[in-house]
Amino acid sequence: MAESYSQYCPISRTLDLVGDRWSLLILRDLYVGTSTFNGLARGLPGLSRSLLAKRLRSFEREGLVEKLGGRYLMTERGRDLEGVLMALGNWGSRWIFGDPREEELDAQLLVWWMHGRLDTAAMPLDRWVLHVRFDDDPRRFWILVEDRVPSVCLSDPGYGVDVTIASDVRTLYRVWLGQLPLSAGLRHGLSIEGQRAVVRRVPDVLQLSPMAPLVSGALALHA
């Protein structure tokens, strides 16, 4: 843990524990279901692996997470911080969240986030492939789902593609974060193509960001 604020106050005590750089984002990713070290590292590409390990050790020491079988699991104390994160997300959605900045548009990170939010039970196939193609990024991404377990592939996994989502990076980010409804995204050039029965299930399979309801709610307030 970093140097303490040394103030007898619940806020300062909390910041002593989770106020360091990257701490709240690590907790954010743990809350949405990422539980492995490599998974956390992939979802936080600007964070060094050594600093991630340091933060996780601190969380273990302070009783926010426990390591079990190579996975980091939230304790009751850690899960109780969820309200703090959601409150930050709600405030940010209402007051400072606008159009994405150029430096925030990371196509690979977006696909990684998407793969972690797939409701695979809504697609009754043992194996299926979602291809994500961006108009303004030369890289190609595939999400392979086998036995309801999704994984991100940076090269063609060798199976037939069941559904393709094509978009520019900015538009798909805006849809993912709830800033733009899917129907509006489709009018802005986003497309979903593939077998009709599969395409029809995509809105149920692809759950949006946990922040999307806060963002769309904030937009409705300001409308």
Domains belonging to the chain, first-starting first, are: 10-80 (1.10.10.10), 102-217 (3.30.1050.10)
pTM above 0.85, yes or no: yes
Q: What separation in angstroms does the CA of 185 have from each of 24, 64, 102, 178, 194?
A: 30, 39, 19, 11, 18
Q: What is the pLDDT of residues 90-125, one digit of tens each?
A: 999 999 999 999 999 999 999 999 999 999 999 999
Q: If you average pLDDT over residues 121-146, what whole number do you get?
A: 96
Q: If you average pLDDT over residues 146-150, what whole number do you get?
A: 95
Q: What pLDDT is recorded for position 223?
A: 67
Assign 2 a pLDDT band (cuts: 50, 70, 90): low
How far apart, in whole angstroms, are the C-alpha atoms of residue 205 and residue 211? 17
Assign 150 a pLDDT band (cuts: 50, 70, 90): very high
